[in-house]
Chain A
Amino acid sequence: MIHMHNSLAIRIRRAASAISCLALVALTGLAHALPAADPLKVVCTLPDLADITREIGGDRVDVTTIYKGKENTHALMGKPSHLVAMSRADVFVQVGLSLESSVVPGLLENCRNNRIQPGKTGFVNVSEGWSALAVPTVLSRKDGDVHPQGNPHMNLAPSAGQHMASVIHAHLVLVEPGSKLVFDQRYAALVKKLDDASARWALVAKDWKGRKIVVYHKEFDYFADAYGLVIQGSIETKPGIPPTPNHLASLIDTMKREPGAVILTAPWSNNDNVEQVARETGAKIVELPNMCGGTSGAETWIGMMDTIHKRVAEALPTAPAAR
């Protein structure tokens, strides 16, 4: 009798375990199939990344942005609101390539949020897999504020939209697989918009190859590289190093000997040095956004690139200047 009783008890326990497992599997499946109630808290460094994240995430993401749009990307200081947002975030999105090194390392270390630390699915480095320009073969401060991983201004490459969107999409799906369908659909729509925009920009820039530009900071190298624009020089002596009188004189001399360049500058760098070079060489100054929000019309990443193409097209001479 006792033996029978024990057998029954064992069978009941096994049945209960099986039901529990099935219920757990069903609940897990349900949880993955249905979006969670609260949107993902996403902190993006640049407004560019915020725009792309919103495009893909829709109402499944609640996005906070660290940069506002007119800053020197290498000089921003962190604020209390940044620290608090990072401490609560499910996902953190950065450009990387040491672009945001003035603010991100301190925030990452102090926010103590394990979900967004490097290596976790919530840490999104959109330059991951990107072929950077100007990767230094020798690292020396003699070359100014060098970035060990290469030129960090990849957000200004016309092809960067697709790359950034691809990385952000992949991470959002990893963090919230239950919203995969939503993310996939919105991502596909964004890629279509980006492809259309790329075709539009290629048309605008079809005659730009060989045209000369001068930059204040090496922010527009990817943009120039995409269309074969020739960077005649930079107003900064070296990246991050303000110009010396000798350097300015040398640059002005070169621009006078080989005229035709336009000066590309960002809102933060449109300063007295730029004016001096323009005044002494007769070159046009073109102020361009270096991230979304930098100027009117640049509220979205596609809008920003439209603005950049339009302003450069308006400033460049209609025919290549005589060399």
Chain B
Amino acid sequence: MSTFIVQRALALAAFSPAVLAQGPVFQTPGMTSVPSNYSVPGSSNDSGQANRFSNVFNPAFSFVVDSLVDSIHNSGASEDGERIELRSLEFAAQSWVDPSAWAYFVAVADEENVAIEEAAVHYTGLGGNHTLRAGRFFIDCGKQMQTHVHELRTIRRPLALRTFLGDEVKGDGLQWDSWTSVSDETAVRWSIGAFSNLLPESVKDIDPETQAAQSIADRKHAEDFNFTARLTAFTDVGQNGVLQLGTSARVLPRFAYTFEPSGDAAEDLDNTVFGLDATYGWSDDSGLKSWTFGGEYVLDTGDTYSTIGDAGTPGDPTDDSVDVISDELNGFYIFADYAWDKSNSVGLQYSQVESPEAGTPDVSETEAYYTHLFSEFHRLRVAASGQNREDGEDSTRFAIQYTVFVGAHGHGVNW
């Protein structure tokens, strides 16, 4: 027995230096081991061992510069005029962590702040076609919501998605993703995600003196997490076409509206957005000339909107109440794109949303756009869009978007 223990101890002693040599310079008891990289063989810092200054396994870095020049003309009282802006500077990195996981982060700086938009790990070690994604990432809801705005076909996300889901919706959570084939030409993918909070960024932009703030509790029971689900299938259509159909949902089981001046709150509210999307793409034999048609219908259900009731002293906000509207609101967008070569394409998109309140107008938006790719990483887009409201307060916008992609750019976007 004692011989066995001595043998095991010797074996451990022989093994330990190799393990510790790849850890930090000094490790105190109870601290987790931090992996480090290897130095380049033959370089001045090549000690033959891993150390904290080695950079050979650094991730792939990239950045994106997305700038916009636009001119807005309103028929009503809204702000208009011209503007030049660096819409966003995106900085990203991605790398394999080990054979069954890769990770990435995306930080975005706009004119005012820097935000971590995504930071997640894709774990592929479950076998089969399953993936677990954990961290912060854009929701898998509909055809477009996984995509950052600067990568869309259009200058902005369609009006129907902006209105019912948000311009960009990310959450801290966990998502299971998988796919299977149902024939030689058809694959089906699904995902289910649970998040702490899927309210869009725009909820922070409200005026607290006149509008109720939307909020979700930080800590909650599991059933009150925010959820997403998507089921999509795509299939070959002949030799040159692909059709994709999908259905999605985003569920907020419990949230609240709070009006700061009076302290009034409407709690235990819920909201679910359903989506149905279809996209058809066709390309010629060269793969360079293509048509793409698509659309998505969005249904916003449950507690959809809040207003402030001035029931007490007129003009005094301290006794105002939060009135919540429960309704079913419809919206949709459709588009057609045509690319006549590798570098040039045009498109037209129309989107419409139903008003949440009786007496307020439905809104529609039409956008025409031309995109020129100087190269795969260098894009110029010219767009004209018009927003029409039933109350006649229309606006027109002309925009030039200039975007460059530097480095190994990519996100964890699923098909």
Contacts and interface: CB of A to CB of B under 8 A. Distances in A.
Contacts of A75: 287-288, 342
B181 A84 contact: yes
Contact of A71 (B128, B179, B286): B286
A68 B375 contact: no
A267 interface: yes
B129 interface: yes
Contacts of B181: 83-84, 87-88
B235 A80 contact: yes
A113 to B, nearest CB: 9
B377 interface: yes
A268 B179 CA distance: 33
A85 interface: yes
A5 interface: no
A163 interface: no
A141 interface: yes
A72 B288 contact: yes
A79 to B, nearest CB: 5
A242 B185 contact: no
Interface in B276-312: 281, 283, 285-288
Contacts of A79: 185, 236, 242
Given A71-B287, A141-B377, A83 B342 contact: no
Nearest to A271: B341
Contacts of A68: 239, 285
Given A81-B184, A81-B185, A242 B124 contact: no
A271 B340 CA distance: 12
Interface string A202-234: 000000000000000000000000000000000
Interface in B342-395: 342-343, 374-377
Given A80-B185, A80-B235, A240-B376, A70 B285 contact: yes
Interface in A65-93: 68-72, 75-77, 79-81, 83-85, 87-88
Contacts of B415: 110
Interface string A80-112: 110111011000000000000000000000101
Contacts of A16: none
Contacts of A241: 374-375
Contacts, number: 69
A267 B187 contact: no
B126 to A, nearest CB: 10
B375 A144 contact: yes
A144 B342 CA distance: 14
A280 interface: no
Given A70-B286, A72-B287, A83 B376 contact: no
B234 interface: yes
B215 interface: no
B22 interface: no
Interface in A170-190: none
Contacts of A128: none
Given A80-B185, A112-B124, A268 B234 contact: no
Contacts of A76: 287
Interface in A234-276: 240-242, 267-268, 271
Contacts of B342: 72, 75, 242
A145 interface: yes
Contact of B242 (A80, A112, A144, A271): A80
B37 interface: no
A240 B341 CA distance: 12
Interface string B178-195: 010101111100000000
Contacts of B184: 81, 84-85
Contact of A145 (B186, B187, B376): B376
A88 B185 CA distance: 12
Given A68-B239, A77-B287, A267-B285, A83 B187 contact: yes
Interface of B: 124, 128-129, 179, 181, 183-187, 234-236, 239, 242, 281, 283, 285-288, 341-343, 374-377, 415
16 contacts: A71-B286, A72-B288, A75-B342, A77-B283, A79-B185, A80-B186, A80-B235, A81-B185, A84-B183, A84-B184, A84-B185, A88-B181, A141-B377, A144-B375, A241-B374, A268-B287
The 6 nearest A-B residue pairs measured at CB: A268-B286, A70-B285, A84-B181, A71-B287, A81-B185, A81-B236
Given A83-B187, A84-B184, 16 more contacts: A68-B239, A72-B288, A77-B283, A80-B185, A80-B234, A80-B235, A80-B236, A84-B183, A110-B415, A112-B129, A141-B377, A144-B375, A240-B376, A241-B375, A242-B341, A268-B286
